[in-house]
Chain A
Amino acid sequence: MKKIDFLNTPRIDQVGVDDRIARITARSIKKEAKMQGLMMTLSMIDLTTLEGADTEDKVKQLCYKAHHLHDTIEGLPTTAAVCVYPNFVKLAVNELKGTGVKVAAVATAFPSGQSSAEVKLLDTKLAVDSGAHEVDMVISRGKFHSGEYNFVFDEIAMIKEACGKEVRLKVILETGEIGSLDKVRQASDIAMYAGADFIKTSTGKISPAATLPVTLVMLEAIRDYYYATGIMIGMKPAGGISNAKLALQYLLMVKETLGGKWLSNQYFRFGASSLANDVLMQIVKQKSGIYQSQDYFSKV
């Protein structure tokens, strides 16, 4: 493979990115297109619980919700995956057997990534051996800020190797800690060239989490990688996307940046816990013409 110099990744202009976002958010998504988009959103959600207080029961409840989003409406999809800590993977896999819902595990000393290679590998191995379909790793932001790009690259490559071909690796950049859009672009390139199957904005533990501008920059990085290699990398904005309207704007941005092929949960995910209910509320509104109380939608 051609050697990539990550000091020379393309520059990003914040003003231009904001202009582009303004164009996208001014689009009008109505009627059938809206309904179709809402359904697509549900099918792209990684329903997530990543708390110190997580228990087996909490994870079980989450798993049930993942394939029973709102049983009073027929024809709803399941979410794409549930996302949990590695120690709950076995349970989740068991709960979701036969549903088609994938199990994703955060690993590599999530959320800070401050640990040794050994610990990170073990963490990953625990997830993979427990049957996780997907691993969400964090990059070492400290090393990234110190300019040790090769370290960051090698670490991602190492974790990808531990995942193997079958388990898909999502690489979390934690854009809220990275600073500028230039750096987001640089980290995206490092992750993709090191072997990421997905690039992901945030852990959800840091504010700001996913934003439209950050996601646009990452989608454009994915596009450049596709231009260069023909390989399709997935995108996962996570955290901060809690309403349906915003989710639809994300989807439109994917459509206008990467085209229709990326509009499936194979290549696009939302990392979110409360988004599903807002989308469900909108779907009910589209079908019945009236908004229902939040109390009609199950909170996990």
Chain B
Amino acid sequence: MKKQHNIDFSSDWNLGPAPESTANLKLKEKYDLYINGKFVAPKSGVYFDTINPANEEVLCQVARANAEDIDFAVKSARKAFNTSWSKLSGKERGKYMYRIARIIQERAREFAIVESLDGGKPIRESRDIDIPLAAAHFFYYAGWADKLEYAFPNRKPKALGVAGQIIPWNFPLLMASWKIAPALAAGNTVVIKSSKSTPLTLHLLAEVIHEAGLPAGVVNIISGNGETGSFIVEHPDVDKIAFTGSTEVGKIIMRSITGTHKKASMELGGKAANIIFEDAPLDQAVEGIINGIFFNQGHVCCAGSRLYVQESVFEKVLQKLKDRLQSLKIGDPLDKNTDIGAINSKDQLRDINKYIEIGLQEGAHIYQPDCKLPSKGFWCKPTLFTNVSQSNRITQEEIFGPVLAIQTFRTIEEVIEKANNSPYGLSAGVWTDKGSKIFNMTTKLKAGVVWANTFNKFDPASPFGGYKESGFGREGGVHGLGEYLKFD
């Protein structure tokens, strides 16, 4: 066999720590609920800890809402809808939204630091992606607020009423923006619940909304656990449920709202196929594979977790991928040079490790870079699995962590069949230099988003959502606006 020449990334020149300063960050000890334009203690008096997954230290305490709180929030939202928000012109609603977007931008640095502290994601991502995109969503939908008639000509769009929204822990502020912005632009009022493990930036957003002077009750921000979420779903006066999270919970929600008037949109799990053809720009493809699966430690519903490489370039791609893994920096999420941060929670780390164990038992070959992980906190090395087939569980099931299952393919037909052979259908990636091949693939891949020669790119104007068990409804763009409207 030919000798392999690998790149040696050890060097005398090392960047050293470059932590983002937290000196000016002042977190409160306790965060209350934001209902009816006021910060209020939860009726139960119960608060829970939120921790920094990078060192397991408690950051602060956050209110847990119960059924009574939710009822109060929904009633406030209903009152706001009837008395103030639906009376405002679209132009006036837009003004409030522009104001929210601008205040997020002003406090961007603070938001980025808190997002990384609470969720473990690298500051590079929260600073360059999460927070700017969140502001961009408010800016984008603010522009639609007074143009609904033009977005849906001759259909007389009307707001639904009260939207109940439940967001996941992987992109807290961004997911909140994806949901709040179109709801407000369409004229609805909102009760939104943060995730148990990453509630903090939503509480900061409550401060922003308060500062922006929205009429009381238009946006109500709730924190709590899964049960808290069920109170929102089951509340009879909620007109719309927007959920982003696991397929498992999505199914429970759908069962619970069946037979009610509630409109729903679900953005659920995924197991995206990322497909590399032999004529692809390979070095850029390798970068795309890395961004596809290791972005936010793989805690991304549209992560490119199934890699398909054409057999003729498999060895080459694998060598490049392994070398690239060696050059990634894993550690302190607040370090500006960190590429991969901490796993979001202990539970998530347990799930990921379970799947790595399953992969090994299934006989897959594992590759992880030689790197030292911090002793405290929740960490997982970026992981590649080869010698994998369609029938492996690590190929079929969503892992939601930095674990990539790699297979080869020979023909276009074969890879389309393999890519679509999944209960999920949220996203996919195609890498080739040939334009016609891209268009052929995009029509045949059953995925809501297909990226060509890139991966994990987001824009407020572009609709996002799934096929099959990845959910239904779209967020972003005019499509996202339509989810919050009814038509005559």
Contacts and interface: CB of A to CB of B under 8 A. Distances in A.
Given A11-B433, A40-B13, A28 B5 contact: no
Interface string B312-341: 000010010000000100000000110000
B454 interface: yes
A10 B13 contact: no
Interface stretch (A72-80, A128-136, A233-241, A251-259): A251-259
A29 interface: yes
A260 B12 CA distance: 7
Contacts of B12: 36, 260, 263
A220 to B, nearest CB: 5
B88 interface: no
A16 B13 contact: no
B54 to A, nearest CB: 18
B488 interface: no
Contacts of B433: 11, 13
Contacts of A28: 15, 18, 336-337
A16 B453 contact: yes
A29 B14 CA distance: 9
A297 interface: no
Interface residues of A, number: 35
Nearest to B335: A28
A20 interface: yes
Contacts of B281: 10-13, 16
A289 interface: no
How extensive is the interface on chain B, given as a class?
Answer: 20 to 34
Contacts of A17: 284
A28 B12 CA distance: 17
Given A28-B336, A33-B16, A259 B284 contact: no
A225 to B, nearest CB: 10
Identify the interface centre among B12, B15, B288: most chain A CB within 10 Å of its CB: B15
Nearest to B11: A260
A13 B280 CA distance: 9
B211 to A, nearest CB: 30
A12 B331 CA distance: 31
Interface string B275-296: 0000111111101100100000
B284 A260 contact: no
B283 A220 contact: yes
Given A10-B281, A28-B18, A261 B337 contact: no
Given A26-B124, A30-B18, A261-B8, A36 B284 contact: no
Interface in A243-285: 251-252, 255-256, 258-261, 263
B11 A255 contact: yes
B7 interface: yes
A16 B5 contact: no
B3 interface: yes
A37 interface: yes
A224 to B, nearest CB: 8
A15 B453 CA distance: 8
Given A16-B281, A28-B15, A261-B8, 18 more contacts: A10-B281, A12-B281, A12-B284, A13-B284, A16-B283, A16-B288, A16-B453, A16-B454, A17-B284, A20-B287, A26-B124, A28-B336, A30-B15, A36-B13, A251-B13, A255-B9, A256-B9, A259-B7
Interface of A: 10-13, 15-17, 19-20, 26-33, 36-37, 40, 220, 223, 226-227, 229-230, 251-252, 255-256, 258-261, 263
21 contacts: A10-B281, A10-B282, A11-B280, A11-B281, A11-B433, A12-B283, A16-B281, A16-B287, A19-B287, A19-B291, A28-B336, A33-B13, A33-B16, A36-B12, A223-B7, A251-B13, A258-B7, A259-B8, A259-B9, A259-B10, A259-B11
